[in-house]
A and B are shown apart, each in its own frame.
Chain A
Amino acid sequence: MILKGRGLSKGIGEAELIVSSEPVSFLGGIDAETGRILDEKSDVFGESIAGKVFAFPSGKGSTVGSYVIYGLALNGCAPVAILNERSEVVVTVGVIISEIPLVDCLDLSLLRTGDRVKVDGSEGSVDAEGVEEIHVVTSFLENDGRILLLKRSELVGTYQGLWAGVSGYLEKGDQAYERAVTEIAEEVGISNPKLLKEGEPVCSRDEKTLWVVHPFLFHVDSPEVKLDWEHKEFKWISPSQIPEFETVPRLPKTFGAVVQGLRPSDGET
């Protein structure tokens, strides 16, 4: 898995990751002598950031905190790289004067304490080799203002009995759009669906896997559906009814990615 962010301080750091879910104040929050996290409210309280890659949403607190980062470096217990969702002045200044790589504009929910990562501060990239990326397509079909949900059968490998869109793994050499059209023909027997929108990929993290869902929204002229073995039931519903169904993980978010920015009339042909 490679995440791409914004490189703010150059250099390369490779180590085990430690992720704090809360913003960090270096002044008072980190022991400059040892690198231990002193903030009792932190979810990684008591851990040491020395020699690790340290990820936290953002810095906060006094600007003297920049000198705490510098002090950590002088004492040989600085992190080898820092990752942020949004960097601010204290951390940015601290890492520049201490020559620690910094990458921000990252979605930290895709990273886990314990991941082994390589941070490239010039490229703005984070490579977690041990985390496998699995790409799938999920298509929502629209007819007469309603969308199609399918109940997964007991014969499929994952998420049996849950409601989903038309889905399939992206295989080697596949283009996402073509894979989506193929899956629609196989799973619900509809050919020539009309593409309304391809959404930005939606990422989520399991233990050792990064799921990358490529979402599509298609219009179909007829509500007629022929299920194959992968599903046992289907329903045409209003989009507002999605929360009433027991769905595969992050289905509402995936749907959100294709309706975002869509004009209301786009769905009615």
Chain B
Amino acid sequence: MQSRKQKISSAKRGEPLELSPEQERLLKEGSYGERKALELLIALGDVYDASKLIPVTSVHISGASYKTIGDPGLRFLSEICEGCRAKVKSTVNPIGMDRERFHEMRVSEEFVVKQKEIIGYYESLGVLDSWTCTPYLIGNRPGLGEHVAWAESSAVIFANSVLGARTNREGGPSALASSITGLTPDYGLHKEENRKADVLFELEFDLEEKEFAPLGSFAGEICGARMPYFKKLSATEDNLKTLSASLASSGSVSMFHIEGLTPEWELGLKEECESVSVDRKDLEEIADSWNTEDDPDLVAFGCPHCSTAELGKLADMLKDGWKGPELWVCTSRAVCENIPETVQLINKHGKLLCDTCVIVSSVEDFSSTIATNSGKASTYLPTLCKQKTMFADAETLVRRFQ
């Protein structure tokens, strides 16, 4: 009997990723942040069998609220941002408070200090003044076929599906690494062959505005990480924003097609695909499951952040008054800039909050039930903010409290 040592390989491995001379140089001579960022992208490229890193034209970074990333996130930003600058147009997700109205949000002093520190690190990189989950509404709007690196699941799916840009579902640190290097590993949705749908959804009825959020949740649950293709659906861009957020929160969907509507719908379905027919009752069941309470402490709109048109509609409805509980309407500061009358009208009855959103704020400190028109918020509020939810479309909710 003889024991001898030999290395035992137990799985197949792809070839390691190839670096350009410039990338090799950065890996050796770059600043700490540049080296760390590149190492991170190379490791991800290896994990997903990418053969190279490709340049991106735009980045959207998540992980900016102190509530979400905590002290470890803050410390990481302080180290990686040192001496680095964003190489491409970069925007950042909402933070845990409105930079001006944080007192009205009952945020603690410690939170304000730490949150401001986080803002400072991102600003030192030279990101756009954004703090929004809808960067495509404020000038970070890549076009068809552009390679980008976006985090924030609701924005990722919008970029791929509605804009036809190409991004994988990045996390906060990997998007930050792409901002610092201008690169991303070439795999997944960067390749056209991976942009075909897996599941066909046929609707037996004309979808109403209020049904986009439940439809996204219904299809997201069925799809998981697979890609849906919808037939017979007409929608505005705001509807698609709602559908995107809902699909990406109930499943981990990164892209969808709508026949005749989204820019790459002709890529179509894979040869082997599942087919699902959607009944109105399926959507009603989902809406009911989000609607467990009728006495909210807070009514929240703007998940994802409201567009100019959505704010206009809310302001119009609020002309008839508001007798409800505290009202939060969340959007980006840039969207508010050109609509002073709308801003004033909403602020008369509620709080038009910028830079933040209900999910990443510390709303659990003073509320236990929230009413919302958002499928995404209805999915996340119970776990991230310990809230019960009341769900209805915006008009129903506003009329209910007038």
Binding site for B on A (CB under 8 A): 1-6, 8-9, 32, 63-64, 66-68, 70-71, 74, 85, 87-90, 92-93, 96-97, 102, 104-107, 110, 125, 132-135, 169-172, 174, 201, 203, 210, 212
Known contacts A67-B72, A70-B72, A125 near B2 by CB under 8 Å: no
Output the nearest chain B residue to A75 by Cβ-Cβ distance. B72
Contact status of A3 and B72, CB under 8 A, knowing A97-B40, A170-B2, A171-B2: no
Task: Say yes or no: A97 contacts B36, CB within 8 Å.
Answer: yes
Contact with A along B1-25 (1 / 0, CB 8 A): 1111111111111000000000000
Instruction: List 5 interface pairs A-B (beta carbons < 8 Å), by A numbering.
Output: A1-B8, A4-B9, A8-B46, A134-B3, A174-B2
Q: Is the CB of B336 closer than 8 A to any CB of chain A?
A: no
Task: Choose one: B6, B44, B171; the contact of A133 (CB below 8 Å).
Answer: B6
Chain B residues near A107 (CB, 8 Å)?
10-11
Contact residues in B for A97 (Cβ distance below 8 Å): 36, 40, 76, 80, 173
Q: How far is the CA of A164 from the CA of B4 in the complex (A)?
A: 24
B8–A203 CB distance below 8 A: yes
Q: Are A89 and B171 in contact (CB under 8 A)?
A: yes
Q: Is the CB of B171 within 8 A of A63?
A: yes
Q: Which of B62-70, B202-210, B275-283, B348-356 contacts A (4 or more CB under 8 A)?
A: B62-70
A interface, over-half SS: mixed
Q: Are B70 and A89 in contact (CB under 8 A)?
A: no
Bound together, the chains give a CA A93 to CA B175 distance in angstroms of 11
* Residue B43 at the chain A interface, CB threshold 8 Å: yes
In Å, the complex CA distance between A9 and B11 comes to 18
Least CB distance from B272 to A in Å reads 23
Pair A6/B13 contact, Cβ less than 8 Å: yes
B4 engages A96 (CB within 8 Å): no
CB proximity of B392 to chain A, nearest CB, Å: 28
Collect the chain A residues with CB atoms within 8 Å of residue B80's CB. 97
Interface magnitude class on chain B: 35 or more
CA distance A133 to B6 in the complex (A): 8
Residues in B whose Cβ lies below 8 Å from that of A92: 40, 43-44, 47
Contacts of B71 in A (CB 8 A): 71, 74
Q: Enumerate chain B interface residues (CB-CB to A < 8 A).
A: 1-13, 36, 39-40, 43-44, 46-47, 62-63, 68-73, 75-76, 80, 151, 171-174
Residues from chain B with a CB closer than 8 A to the CB of A68 are 72
Contacting pair A66 B171 (CB below 8 A): yes
Cross-chain contact of A110 among B10, B36, B63 (Cβ < 8 A): B10
- A132–B10 Cα gap in the complex (Å)? 17
What is the bound-complex CA distance between A9 and B36, given in angstroms? Answer: 11
The complex places the Cα of A93 from the Cα of B71 at a distance, in Å, of 17
Nearest opposing residue in chain A for B383, CB measure: A28
Complex Cα distance, B171 from A267, in Å, reads: 52
The answer for the CA separation of A8 and B43 in the assembled complex, in Å, is 6
Given the known interface contacts A87-B47, A97-B173, A134-B3, the answer about A70 and B8 at a Cβ–Cβ threshold of 8 Å is: no
Question: 5 nearest interchain CB pairs?
Answer: A63-B171, A71-B72, A107-B10, A105-B11, A4-B7
Inter-chain contacts of A4 with B (CB < 8 A): 7-10
Report yes or no: A2 in contact with B6, Cβ–Cβ below 8 A.
yes
Cα distance A154–B88 in the bound complex, in angstroms: 74
Besides A67-B76, A201-B8, 17 more A-B contacts (Cβ < 8 Å) are A4-B8, A4-B10, A6-B11, A64-B69, A67-B173, A74-B75, A96-B39, A96-B43, A105-B10, A105-B12, A105-B13, A134-B1, A134-B3, A135-B4, A169-B1, A169-B2, A212-B6
Report the bound CA distance from A210 to B7 in whole Å. Answer: 12
* A contact residues around B8 at 8 Å (CB): 1-4, 110, 201, 203, 210, 212
A64 adjacent to B63 (CB under 8 Å):
yes
A66 & B75 in contact (Cβ 8 Å cutoff): no
Contacts of B46 in A (CB 8 A): 6, 8
In whole angstroms, what is the CA distance A104 to B47 when docked?
9
